[in-house]
Amino acid sequence: MIEGITIYEILTLTTILFFIGVYGFLTRRNLISILISVEMILNASVVNFVIINKYLYPDELQGVLFSIFIIAVAAAETALAVAIIINLYRQISSVEVKDTEVMKY
Amino acid sequence: MIVFAIAAVSSRRMLRSVVYLLFVLVGIAGIFFLIDYNFLAAIQLTVYAGGIIVLIIFSVLLVHHIELKLEMAKPLRQIITAIACLIGMGTFLTTIYSHQFNVIENNVTTTTAQIGSKLLSYSEGGFILPFEVISVVLLAVMIGAIIIAKGKKLTNKSNN
Amino acid sequence: MNIGYIILIPLIPLVVFLVLGIFNQKIKPSVSGYVGVFGLLVSAALSLYAAYQYFFVFGKTDGFYQTFSEKTVWMNFTEILHIDMGILVDPISVMMLVVVSVVSLMVHIYSRGYMKGDDGYTKFFAFLSLFTFSMYGLVLATNLFQIYIFWELVGVSSYLLIGYYYTKTTAIAAAKKAFIVTRFADFGFLIGILIIGYYTGTFDFETLNNPEGSAILNWAVTSFMGLSVITWALILIFIGGAGKSAMFPFHIWLPDAMEGPTPVSALIHAATMVVAGIFLVARLFPMFYFVENGFALNIVAYVGAFSALFAAIIAITQNDIKRVLAFSTMSQLGYMMLALGVSGYEGHDGVGYMASMFHLFTHAMFKALLFLGAGSVIHAVHSNFLKDMGGLRKYMPITNITFLIAALAISGVPPFAGFWSKDEILVAAYDQNKLIYYIGVFVAGLTAFYMFRIYFGIFWGKEKYYEHKPKESPLSMTFPLMVLAFLSITAGFIPFSEFISADKAGFEAHLNYPLAAIATLVGVMGIMLAWVFYKKESSLSDRYANALGPFYKWASDKFYFDEIYMFITKKILFKRVSEPIAKFDRNYVDGTMVGIGNKTVLTSEKIKGLQSGKVQDYAFAFIAGAVIIGLVFIYLLTS
């Protein structure tokens, strides 16, 4: 428990971070920027888990452990995403989202 | 932290955006430290701030001209997205604030030993299964990443 | 009396039609000829047997001939309103069975010779059988709807047979014209049937014709524009009959129908189909007589008389022998109609009814004979026109004699059949309506005149140049001529009034000597006049024709009725009525449909953009959806 900070404030913080990540995901043109935004979303959710764990259930550890898994999965996913981006770059020599609109009508 | 986050998503230079993300991640590690979850903070710093950021920087360097200015989306799109996000945020916050959380004041410190034993315990509430599954997932991801990143040369060689 | 076997009479030609139609390509022509003739021979034998049974063996009960019927419900609408199918045995239906059988049999035998070598030989016999089946069904009908069904079937058969030479455009046009004109008249018929069905609750003839039944007793219940509704219905039904029987003004199809082969003209347009209209009025005669004191019957009489006169005048001027015979048919049908029109009901008053049926019977015989004889001549000379014929009596003796017998019969010379029947008609007219009587006598004279005009023109006079020497037709063609000639002589002696009468009781008819003498005199005068004009080739007729000037031209152009109808349909109906409606249909109705299609395409083009292929757009939709669902859940469902 952090002195002087209520749970509401931290939850507000994570919410704002989450939605900034969403905004970035929907707005950015570059694939890597989108990746960065995804990282931000994931982090916000990790903090959410941990905070709930600490404030409401301090004797349990599920939140922490689950967060460890989330971090692991996020890392894996980022690695794969980078691999795909590199492959895509080889095919179309660009990492802009607008060049990947092959599946339109 | 919020400032850095906003900067990360709206920066026009790729590398700067990555660095701002790094700062955000460090900030989050700071929060973990404040909560006395030292192990988690360490993991955050090592895996996220260290590994992922480096990975992203490598990929940026591979596919990107450092000097190139990134484009932003059309203003109309930005506004619509911003409005949607604000509405979403409003929903979330209203829900959060209208809920009564029973906060238990405490000063319990979780040690690494506790986390470790919980992670590998067979008994009820143990996380051994997810632990094993995660290991397999990481293995799969590694193999997949290698194959994807290798690209055409791999398949050509195997055909000959 | 057992009438079950009568159902075989129409069924046999139907089976023959199906067999010949289905195996059209595989049957050899000679086989199909024998099949057709044999089938009809059986039907004819059954008809004669039925007539013998009905009139002689079973005879009258309580002084009246009984009506027998067997029917089954075919379409059930309500308790009262239902359409049945069945057979009705009644003096006139039995008589018609005999007429149709005899004439059809003769035509079948004749066709074996006439149509020999034609490509569609089997098809022809199939159509003839179809027609015979339809005609049998028509005369055996038990109710208005059944008669309407067979009416249309007969129209279809006529269309098929007139347009038999389908490569000739005139034949196709004639077939269309016949069908369309009769169809137009049948529209009136149908409305009449529906009115009767609605106001009397039944279509059945036995119920409708019962003089003490509700249909006749309650005729005055509803009226429309001064006349009873039932009267209107009867007038409309008469219009249907007038179309089929080529009464004025629906007569335009009959001359053109001569485009068909001559046996067809003999069967359909002389003896059987065209009398369907007469038969219909006779069938509904009690209604015509009792409803509104016979108002509809008056109309029948005047239309008949006018048609008789009109046709006879035109017939004098025609040069195509088949056209002359066509107008002659129309004229004689007019006689039959007017006889029905002036008829009474009880006993001797019903002499008009009896005369009409009698004339139908005898007319079938001698008109068929005339047509078949004309066919024989046309077959020999290869032309329809009078100017290509002359002096044929040396080459075609049998045709000559039989044609002469028929011509004498139609002119009303005793003792041939036509004299007896025409005389009875004039007797009926004399008692009721003097104007109609005088018209009848005048037309009798005209009939003799034009008939002998063509007789002398064909068989006497100067010989024309013939490419091949004309010779007598083969036996298959002359045999029917001889049979029909025999019947034309003897049919007059049948005491018809014993069998057929309006109230089905039969009465004794006597020869009215003064009127008979007048009729015969008029006929003989007509023959004399024709002798003078036409026996030897001379320009006497032409001088008279020129003297009559424009009147002659009008008559020979059939009083321009065809042109009037064409004008009305083309200039008025097509331009003023059909075109605007077609334009409306094309622009608005079709336009709406096409417009809906276009709008769909436009809309889809607009919303195509949803499938942009951009992941971010999809993610946006996802997030927006999630937010909205969250809102819905939180606020709407839990508040």
Size of the A and C interface in Cβ pairs below 8 Å: 30
CB-based contact B84 C624, cutoff 8 Å: yes
Q: Does C623 touch chain A (CB under 8 A)?
A: yes
Q: Does C634 touch chain B (CB under 8 A)?
A: yes
Residue B159: is its pLDDT beyond 60? no
Cross-strand pairs, C64: C61
Query: CB–CB of C88/C69 below 8 Å?
Result: yes
Size of the B and C interface in Cβ pairs below 8 Å: 15
Lowest mean pLDDT among B72-76, C272-276, C302-306, C318-322: B72-76
In sign, the C-alpha dihedral spanning A37, A39, A43, A49 is positive
Is the bond into C29 cis (omega within 30 degrees of 0)? no
The shortest CB-CB distance from C630 to any of B81, B84, B91 is to B91
Euclidean distance between CA atoms C209 and C206, whole angstroms: 5
The shortest CB-CB distance from A23 to any of B9, B24, B39 is to B9
- Average pLDDT of the residues in B102-116: 74
pLDDT of residue C555: 74
- Average pLDDT of the residues in B73-99: 84
Euclidean distance between CA atoms C614 and A98, whole angstroms: 7
Query: How far lies A48's CA from each of B86, C203, C217, in Å?
Result: 19, 88, 99
For C308-401, list the strands marked E by DSSP: none
Best of B77, B86, B91 to disrupt the C interface (most C CBs within 10 Å) is: B91
Q: Does C625 touch chain B (CB under 8 A)?
A: no
Contacts of A29 in chain B (CB under 8 A): 70-73
Q: Which of residues 77-106 of B touch A (CB under 8 A)?
A: 77-78, 81-82, 84-86, 88-89, 92-93, 96-97, 101-106
Name residues whose C-beta falls within 8 Å of residue C44's C-beta, 6 or more positions apart in sequence.
C101, C102, C104, C105
pLDDT of residue C75: 79
CB-based contact B35 A24, cutoff 8 Å: no
Euclidean distance between CA atoms B80 and C621, whole angstroms: 12
Best of A12, A54, A57, A73 to disrupt the B interface (most B CBs within 10 Å) is: A54
A25, closest residue in chain C (CA to CA): C616
pLDDT of residue B130: 87
pLDDT of residue B72: 73
- Residue whose token pair is 């001064």: C226
Contacts of A70 in chain B (CB under 8 A): none
Nearest in space to A51 (alpha carbons), one of B47, B34, B97 = B34
- Average pLDDT of the residues in C106-132: 87
Residue C250: is its pLDDT beyond 50? yes
The shortest CB-CB distance from B81 to any of C620, C630, C634 is to C620
Contact residues of A toward C, CB < 8 A: 22, 25-27, 34, 97-98, 100-105
CB-based contact A24 B43, cutoff 8 Å: no
The shortest CB-CB distance from A105 to any of C611, C619, C623 is to C611
The shortest CB-CB distance from A26 to any of C609, C611, C619 is to C619
Euclidean distance between CA atoms C113 and C478, whole angstroms: 9
Min Cα separation B35/chain A (Å): 6
pLDDT in tens, C77-101: 777 777 888 888 888 888 888 989 9
Task: State both tokens at C405.
Answer: 């017998």
φ, ψ dihedrals at C82, nearest 5°: -150, 155
Query: CB–CB of C341/C429 below 8 Å?
Result: no
Residue A41: is its pLDDT beyond 90? yes
Euclidean distance between CA atoms C174 and C162, whole angstroms: 7
Percent of the residues in chain C that have a pLDDT greater than 70, as a whole number: 97
Query: Could you give the ipTM of this predicted complex?
Result: 0.86
A19, closest residue in chain C (CA to CA): C623
Residue C317: is its pLDDT beyond 90? no
The shortest CB-CB distance from B87 to any of C620, C627, C634 is to C627
CB-based contact A102 C614, cutoff 8 Å: no
pLDDT in tens, B20-61: 999 999 999 998 888 888 888 998 999 888 899 998 888 888
Lowest mean pLDDT among C18-27, C276-285, C548-557: C548-557
Q: Does B81 touch chain C (CB under 8 A)?
A: yes
Percent of the residues in chain A that have a pLDDT greater than 70, as a whole number: 94
Min Cα separation A32/chain B (Å): 7
Min Cα separation C607/chain B (Å): 18
**Per-domain boundaries in chain B:** 1-100, 111-160
Min Cα separation C618/chain B (Å): 13
The shortest CB-CB distance from A101 to any of C608, C613, C623 is to C613
Residue B160: is its pLDDT beyond 50? no
pLDDT of residue C539: 67
pLDDT confidence of A42, banded at 50, 70, 90? Answer: very high
Nearest in space to C345 (alpha carbons), one of C502, C188, C215 = C502
Euclidean distance between CA atoms C127 and C156, whole angstroms: 10
pLDDT of residue B66: 62
- Residue whose token pair is 């038969």: C279
Cross-strand pairs, C224: C227
pLDDT confidence of B155, banded at 50, 70, 90? Answer: low
- Give the 3-state secondary structure of residue C395: coil
Cross-strand pairs, C228: C223
Euclidean distance between CA atoms C559 and C597, whole angstroms: 53
pLDDT confidence of A77, banded at 50, 70, 90? Answer: very high
Nearest in space to C198 (alpha carbons), one of C224, C167, C173 = C224
Query: CB–CB of C131/C60 below 8 Å?
Result: no
CB-based contact A40 B101, cutoff 8 Å: no
When the pLDDT of each residue in chain A is averaged and rounded to a whole number, the result is 85
Min Cα separation B78/chain C (Å): 11
pLDDT confidence of A73, banded at 50, 70, 90? Answer: very high
- Average pLDDT of the residues in C576-591: 82
pLDDT of residue A105: 64
Q: What number of helices (H) and strands (E) belong to chain B?
A: 8, 0
pLDDT in tens, C460-508: 877 777 777 777 777 878 888 888 888 888 888 887 777 777 777 777 7
Chains that touch B (3 or more CB pairs under 8 A): A, C
Amino acid B126 reads: G
The shortest CB-CB distance from C623 to any of B88, B94, B95 is to B88
When the pLDDT of each residue in chain C is averaged and rounded to a whole number, the result is 84
In chain C, helix, strand, coil percent, each to 5? 75, 5, 20
In sign, the C-alpha dihedral spanning A52, A55, A60, A61 is positive
C621, closest residue in chain A (CA to CA): A26
Contacts of A35 in chain B (CB under 8 A): 56
Euclidean distance between CA atoms C190 and C240, whole angstroms: 8
Q: Does B76 touch chain A (CB under 8 A)?
A: no
**Per-domain boundaries in chain A:** 8-99
The shortest CB-CB distance from A104 to any of C613, C619, C623 is to C613
Nearest in space to C531 (alpha carbons), one of C422, C407, C419, C442 = C407
Chains that touch C (3 or more CB pairs under 8 A): A, B
Q: Is it true that domain A8-99 has CATH number 1.10.287.3510?
A: yes
CB-based contact B91 C620, cutoff 8 Å: no
Task: State both tokens at C87.
Answer: 């057979």
If one counts every other C-beta atom within 10 angstroms of the C-beta of residue C46, the result is 18
- Average pLDDT of the residues in C621-630: 86
pTM (two decimals):
0.69
Min Cα separation B157/chain A (Å): 17
If one counts every other C-beta atom within 10 angstroms of the C-beta of residue C106, the result is 27
Task: State both tokens at C304.
Answer: 């008949």
Residue C274: is its pLDDT beyond 70? yes
Residue A59: is its pLDDT beyond 90? no
CATH number of B1-100: 1.20.120.1200
pLDDT of residue B136: 93
